[in-house]
Structures are given as structure tokens and as C-alpha cells.
């Protein structure tokens, strides 16, 4: 309908212009006739002159008529051109087209009216949120398209030539690591012909040792431990310090009061998480956290978030007899005393007498009065005393979970260090089990923890204890953390190993940690075929080492 109206209007305008042209011609001719009559009546004496003038005027009229006729022709041509253009713009259609146009216009108008009505019902803030959501969706869509474009246009990783021994800059090494990980993530698609996966892995290990300053042995262990998608995240997280955390001493204050006091001193802090009621994380401070009046008064102690987990898993009860076998510098032992509310007896032992002095200083400052501090070899502690309700063993380890605190681990650790720690940890755990009272009415629990992420120091040690003593794994009571390994490469552990918990810096934003909780059921010692089992385990370890070397080759 609109199209027809436009055509009619355009045609009407053309007709109007033709009528105007005709009226102009008639007016000019009438004026010429009147001029002739007036000239004849005025003066008969100048007939010749008037005749000449009339001839001239006739010539001028002819010229004007020619011009007008030319103008008429041009106007007609223009009108015909306009009509042709209009015909091109507005082509003939059918009734179905008109129905479709009406339906589309009605739908668009109804949609617009519905949106207007919806917007009218909304509050201003709701309208703004609606606009913001649309904007966010649009940005996300553009980001996805851009990412897909980058993936499609990215160049395929080219494996370096064997003769190429040029030293690359650190940014170039990082770029090659990223590209190599991309190839390994989809090996069939991005691989080069005649190149095996082992070659790409060897190049990746070489680049990682250069970029992160690790030795080849430790990088090889981490590549075996983590999927390639998580490997870079773990290594990068181990390069940065974890947030500074403190633990409130519940013997002297509450966390709320401590937080208010520190905030008043210019400290920016927050609770560590819902899993603890005594932890605070410090973001920044205008004063030294280790020298505030609250610290000197014993209202809190500097302690990592992961160090609170073993005590929570141990779950000490009041009036119990508890042993912390490797207690220095006293962070976990003081936490146990605070949970026990200074009741019962706490034995804080450490083989190093110099480190044991730190336990004395912290206990005095924190107001702990139910403890006995001693310095015995943990491997022979059962000869000194037995019958503990609960035992905490935070065993010495290689420290692969706290590389951010001790970067020397990246270059100093090798197979001998792991083997030495593994043997020491087995001996300490067996002694901790022997010191526990299986008939305790409230306890009979042993918690084993390390600050290492290697299975040799964690699952292997627990599996050894399960074979040698009448103990079983029980839930740790911790709500978060990844399950322990029930299998690692060619090794198979007890199925209950999934009850243990692992913590990583790149997933939990705390130091790498391992926590396992054991329940002792009897004092039976499984010593049958002890020597044969040890020889068999040593042979298995040698075989696994050889197989790992062969796989790396």
C-alpha cells in the first residue's frame, strides 16, 4: 500500500509540473498579443518602427518559444527518467508480498510494543542491568569469535633442527613452551611427520629447565606427576609467594576482636575461608605483622594456611594425651594446645635441640601451659613413652610443595634425597603407630602430613604402613582437597588411598601439602616374612627406576 501511495504521489508531482509549464506558455502569448494591440492604437505614425519592433518581438517570441519547447522536452525527459527510476525502485509485486510485508511490520511493531511495555514495568536499575547483560553477552560473543579466529590463524609449531644450538631469549623459550604444549595437547593434528611424542616431551623438559631453573631430575618427576594442562600452572604458582596468613590464638582472643585491632592499625585482611575459624589472610600492612603489640602479647602466630590442615584432621579432644613427633617451630603444636584449651598433656618433640628452643619461645608467648617439650629421636620414641591417644607426624620431606619459600629445592634435590626421605618417613610413621594406644576410648588416630607433592613421600609411605601395621585409612574430615592417588604409573596402591587429601598451590592457593589420617585397631605387628618383603620392595623400586629411565630414553 505504501509503495502504491509513493507511486501516486510521484505521478501527481509530474502532472503538476506539466500544468505549470503550460500556464507559463499561455501567459507569455497573451502578453505578446496585448503588446501588439497597444502599439497599433498608440501611434499610427510610427507603424514602420512598430512593425520592425513587432518583427523583433516576434523573433524574440520564437526564440522564447524554442527555449520553452526545449525546456518542456527536458522536463518531459526528466519526468520520464524519474518515472523509470521509480519503476525500478518499486517493481510490481503480488498480493502475497503485501501480506508478508504487513505481517513483518505487525510483528516488529508488536515486538517493539512488548519490549516497551516490559521496560515500562521495570525499575530504572532493572533497565540498566538488562542493558548491561546484553552488553556482556555481546562482548562474550565477540571474545569467543576472536579466540576462535586466533586459534584458526595460529601458526603450527615448528620443531627446531638438531644442528640448531642457538641460545634463545627467555621470552622465546616461553613461547616455544606454549606452542609445544599446544602440539602435545592435540598431537595427531599439530605434530610434524616423522616426529615422536617422546621428542616433543624431551624438548619440553629442556625448555622448562631453562625457563624455571629446575634440574632435569625434578622436572622429569613433575612431568610424570601432573597432566600437561596443569604442569605450567603448578610451576608458575610455585614461583610466586603464597598469601601471608596468621592463626588466631583462641586461648587469648577471638578472631573478630583480633581483626578489628589489626584493621585499626592499618592492616588489610580477610578470613582465610569457611573451613577455618581462626585463620586470617593479610593482603597488605603499614606495620610489620611480626612486631605488633598483639603479636608480642601472643594473640596470633604467623602460620601458613596449609599448616592448619593436619591439626584439623587430627581433631584433638580435651583431656587427651597427644604427641607431636616433629614439632619445631611449634605452630601445629600450639594449635593442638589451643584446641585442647590447655587441658590434658601435649608432648612436643623435635630431634634438633636448637629448633626445640623456638618451641619454648612460642609456647611462652602464646600462653600454653599443658605441654612438655622434649628432644628425642622420633625413630626410637616408643622406647621412651607409649600410649598416646593421638599422634601428629609432620614428617621431614624434600619440600617440593613449598618451592616458593625455598627456591633452592629446584636445583638441590635428586633421587638420593627422595630415597633418604622415603626411608626416614617410613620409620617415623611406624614408630608413630607404635606410640598410639589402640584401646583409647577417644582416640587411636595418627595423622601423617608432608609439604611434598611427590607420591614417593606420600602414598608409598602410607601404603607401606598399611602392610606393616593393623591400621586403616579413615576420612580426614576436610571438606576440600584432591583425592590421593590409588595408582601412579605402574604402581598400584590400596583403594582406600582416595581418603587422603592433596593440596596444590595452583588450585588451592596454598602450599603443596599431603594429609592422611589412620586409625589403629590393635597392637599387632605384621612381622611375617619381614626381610623378604623388604628385599622385594627394594627390587620393585629398582625396577621402577629402570623402567622410568627407559621410558624417558
Mark the binding-site residues, compressed into ranges: 326-332, 350, 377, 394
From the list 397, 421, 435, 451, the catalytic residue is 451
Binding site members for S-adenosyl-L-methionine: 326-332, 350, 377, 394
Q: What is the pLDDT along the chain (553 residues), one digit of tens a residue?
A: 555 444 444 444 444 444 444 554 454 555 444 454 444 444 444 344 444 444 444 445 445 444 444 444 544 444 444 445 444 444 454 545 544 555 555 554 555 555 555 566 777 878 888 888 888 988 888 888 776 665 554 455 666 766 666 777 888 888 888 888 888 887 777 777 777 888 888 989 999 998 999 999 999 999 999 998 899 999 999 999 999 999 999 999 999 999 999 999 999 999 998 999 999 999 999 999 999 999 999 999 999 999 999 999 999 999 999 999 999 999 999 999 999 999 999 999 999 999 999 999 999 999 999 999 999 999 999 999 999 999 999 999 999 999 999 999 999 999 999 999 999 999 999 999 999 999 999 889 999 999 999 999 999 999 999 999 999 999 999 989 999 999 998 889 999 999 999 999 999 999 999 999 999 998 887 754 444 455 455 555 555 555 555 444 4
Nearest CA-CA partner of 518 in 434, 461, 453, 433 = 433
Is residue 513 within 8 A of residue 306, CB to CB? The reply is yes
Q: Which domains does the chain have, with CATH numbers?
A: 170-239 (no CATH), 244-302 (3.30.70.1170), 305-520 (3.40.50.150)
Task: Give 361-421 as a DSSP string.
Answer: HHHHHHT--SEEEE---GGGGGGT---BSEEEEE-----TT-TTT-TTHHHH--HHHHHHH
Catalytic site residue 451?
A: yes
Report the length, in residues, of the chain: 553
Cβ contacts of 364 within 8 Å, gap of 6 or more: none
Coil, helix or strand at residue 63 = helix
DSSP class of residue 501 equals E
Q: How far apart are CA 205 and CA 28, in angstroms?
A: 102
Contact by Cβ (8 Å): 371, 347 = yes
Confidence (pLDDT) at 52: 47
Q: Is residue 18 a contact partner of residue 75, using CB atoms and an 8 Å limit? A: yes
Does the pTM exceed 0.85?
no
Question: What pLDDT is attached to residue 115?
Answer: 52
Amino acid at each position: 500500500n505504501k509503495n502504491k501511495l509513493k507511486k501516486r504521489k510521484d505521478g501527481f508531482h509530474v502532472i503538476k509540473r506539466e500544468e505549470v509549464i503550460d500556464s507559463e506558455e499561455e501567459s507569455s502569448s497573451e502578453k505578446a498579443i496585448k503588446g501588439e494591440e497597444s502599439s497599433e492604437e498608440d501611434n499610427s505614425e510610427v507603424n514602420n518602427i512598430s512593425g520592425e519592433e513587432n518583427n523583433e518581438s516576434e523573433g524574440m517570441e520564437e526564440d522564447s518559444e524554442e527555449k520553452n519547447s526545449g525546456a518542456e522536452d527536458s522536463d518531459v525527459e526528466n519526468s520520464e527518467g524519474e518515472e523509470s527510476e521509480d519503476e525500478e525502485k518499486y517493481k510490481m509485486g503480488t498480493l502475497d508480498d503485501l501480506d508478508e510485508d504487513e505481517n513483518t511490520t505487525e510483528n516488529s511493531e508488536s515486538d517493539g510494543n512488548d519490549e516497551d511495555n516490559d521496560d515500562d514495568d521495570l525499575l530504572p536499575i532493572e533497565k540498566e542491568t538488562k542493558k548491561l547483560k546484553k552488553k556482556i553477552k555481546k562482548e562474550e560473543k565477540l571474545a569467543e569469535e576472536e579466540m576462535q579466529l586466533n586459534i584458526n590463524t595460529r601458526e603450527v609449531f615448528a620443531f627446531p633442527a638438531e644442528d640448531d644450538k642457538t641460545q634463545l631469549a627467555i621470552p622465546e623459550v616461553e613461547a616455544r613452551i606454549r606452542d609445544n604444549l599446544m602440539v602435545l595437547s592435540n598431537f595427531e593434528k599439530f605434530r610434524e611427520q616423522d616426529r615422536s611424542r617422546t621428542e616433543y616431551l624431551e624438548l619440553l623438559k629442556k625448555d622448562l629447565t631453562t625457563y624455571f631453573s629446575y634440574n632435569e631430575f625434578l622436572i622429569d618427576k613433575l612431568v610424570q606427576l601432573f597432566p600437561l594442562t596443569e604442569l605450567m600452572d603448578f610451576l608458575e604458582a610455585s614461583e610466586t609467594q603464597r598469601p601471608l596468613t596468621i592463626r588466631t590464638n583462641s586461648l587469648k582472643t577471638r578472631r573478630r576482636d583480633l581483626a578489628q585491632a589489626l584493621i585499626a592499625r592499618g592492616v588489610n585482611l580477610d578470613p582465610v575461608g569457611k573451613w577455618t575459624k581462626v585463620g586470617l589472610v593479610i593482603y597488605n600492612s603499614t606495620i610489620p605483622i611480626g612486631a605488633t603489640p598483639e603479636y608480642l602479647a601472643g594473640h596470633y602466630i604467623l602460620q601458613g594456611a596449609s599448616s592448619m590442615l593436619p591439626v584439623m584432621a587430627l581433631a584433638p579432644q580435651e583431656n587427651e594425651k597427644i604427641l607431636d613427633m616433629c614439632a619445631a617451630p611449634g605452630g601445629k603444636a600450639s594449635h593442638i594446645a589451643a584446641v585442647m584449651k590447655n587441658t590434658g598433656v601435649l608432648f612436643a618433640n623435635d630431634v634438633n635441640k636448637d629448633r626445640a628452643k623456638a618451641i619454648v619461645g612460642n609456647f611462652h608467648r602464646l600462653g600454653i601451659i599443658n605441654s612438655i617439650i622434649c628432644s628425642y629421636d622420633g625413630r626410637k620414641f616408643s622406647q621412651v613413652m607409649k600410649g598416646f591417644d593421638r599422634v601428629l607426624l609432620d614428617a621431614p620431606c624434600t619440600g617440593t610443595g613449598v618451592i616458593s619459600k625455598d627456591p633452592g629445592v629446584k636445583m638441590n634435590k635428586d633421587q638420593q634425597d627422595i630415597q633418604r626421605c622415603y626411608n626416614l618417613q617410613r620409620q617415623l610413621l611406624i614408630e608413630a603407630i607404635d606410640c598410639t594406644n589402640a584401646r583409647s576410648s577417644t582416640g587411636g588416630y595418627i595423622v601423617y602430613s608432608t609439604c611434598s607433592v611427590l607420591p614417593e613421600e606420600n602414598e608409598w609411605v602410607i601404603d607401606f604402613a598399611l602392610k606393616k601395621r593393623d591400621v586403616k585409612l579413615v576420612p580426614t574430615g576436610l571438606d576440600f582437597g584432591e583425592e590421593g592417588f590409588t595408582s601412579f604409573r605402574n604402581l598400584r596402591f590400596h583403594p582406600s588411598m582416595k581418603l587422603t587429601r592433596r593440596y596444590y598451590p595452583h588450585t588451592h592457593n596454598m602450599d603443596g601439602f599431603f594429609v592422611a589420617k589412620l586409625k589403629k585397631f590393635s597392637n599387632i605387628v605384621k612381622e611375617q616374612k619381614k626381610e623378604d618383603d623388604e628385599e622385594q620392595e627394594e627390587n620393585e623400586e629398582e625396577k621402577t627406576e629402570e623402567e622410568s629411565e627407559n621410558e624417558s630414553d
